Structure 1
Amino acid sequence: MNAFSDALSVTASGLKAQAARLRVVTENISNVDTPGYRRKVMPFKLDRSETALVRVEPGRVRLDQSDLEQIYDPSHPLADANGNYQGTNVDLLIELADAREAQRSYEANLKMFDQTRQMSSGLLELLRR
């Protein structure tokens, strides 16, 4: 039964990591028009325990240091003397692709979790006979 609990633990770590990634992506999407907002990026790190198990964990959220978009609008309250203000460095297309990837990865982990649970239940049924 230890193999089943190990498999459930690994898939649960994947579910948690993708859920955290999806939260970061949704924050970026919601701030796509916020002046001065820097895109948040969340890397993953591998947690290697004493056993052969490798779990994935969300890393520390970082700010994307790429240049902010310069927007010319002299009537904007944040505009400088030249009429420019800093927009955001969030690209909606990239964020939507990241959201789709996180969703698919989450679904794959969820399916693996469910299959492991079903196999465990099937084994218990066989052992009861």
Structure 2
Amino acid sequence: MDRIASPVAISASGLRAQAERLRHISENIANADTPGYRRKLVTFQPDQDYGRDTGAVRVGRVQLDQSSLPQIFDPSNPLAGEDGYYAGSNVDLIIEVADAREAQRSYEANLKVFDQSRQMSAALLDLLRR
């Protein structure tokens, strides 16, 4: 029975990982105009059980994008220095939307695998009952 549940567990881990990725993408979009905000990057790692890869995935450590923050000239801004510049955000909305679309499609693919595995398990149990 462990082999039957394995595809379900693997796709469920993908669903959780992509949902977490979407959460961080939405935080990035919400903070796109926040001065000094650095974009959050989500990494995935293989899930292991006693040193063996399970085939599942988990979210690794969330990292901050270390690219330089744009300097915005606005002398009237209270955050501006003596030269009139302040640090903006390094969030690019086009990249965030593309990442969100990729995460959405990955989520949908994992959902289809989950549903197919569930249907196959139900069909197998139906055959065993006969």
SS in 2 for 1:8: helix
Asked if residue 80 in structure 1 is aligned to residue 85 in structure 2, the reply is no
SS in 1 for 2:99: helix
The Cα of 1:55 is off from its aligned counterpart by: 1.2
Give the match for residue 47 of structure 1: 47
Give the match for residue 98 of structure 1: 99
1: distance between equivalents of 2:127 and 2:56? Answer: 30
TM-score by length of 1: 0.95
2: distance between equivalents of 1:38 and 1:52? Answer: 32
Give the match for residue 72 of structure 2: 71
SS in 1 for 2:115: helix
Give the match for residue 127 of structure 2: 126
Taking only the aligned residue pairs, the percentage that are identical comes to 61
The answer as to whether partners of 2:46 and 2:54 remain within 8 angstroms in 1 is: no
The C-alpha deviation readout for 1:65-89, integer Å capped at 9, x for no partner, is 1100100011111111011010000
TM-score by length of 2: 0.95
2: distance between equivalents of 1:93 and 1:69? Answer: 16
The Cα of 1:2 is off from its aligned counterpart by: 2.0
One-letter identity of the residue aligned with 1:110:
L
**How many residue pairs get matched?**
129
SS in 2 for 1:45: strand
Unaligned runs of 5+ in 2: none
1: distance between equivalents of 2:54 and 2:63? Answer: 27
Question: Superposed, which structure 2 residues align to 1:5-44 within 5 Å?
Answer: 5-44=5-44
1: distance between equivalents of 2:120 and 2:6? Answer: 13
- Moved runs in structure 1, 4+ residues, more than 2 A? 48-53
Q: What is the root-mean-square deviation in Å for CA atoms of aligned residues?
A: 1.2
One-letter identity of the residue aligned with 2:58:
E
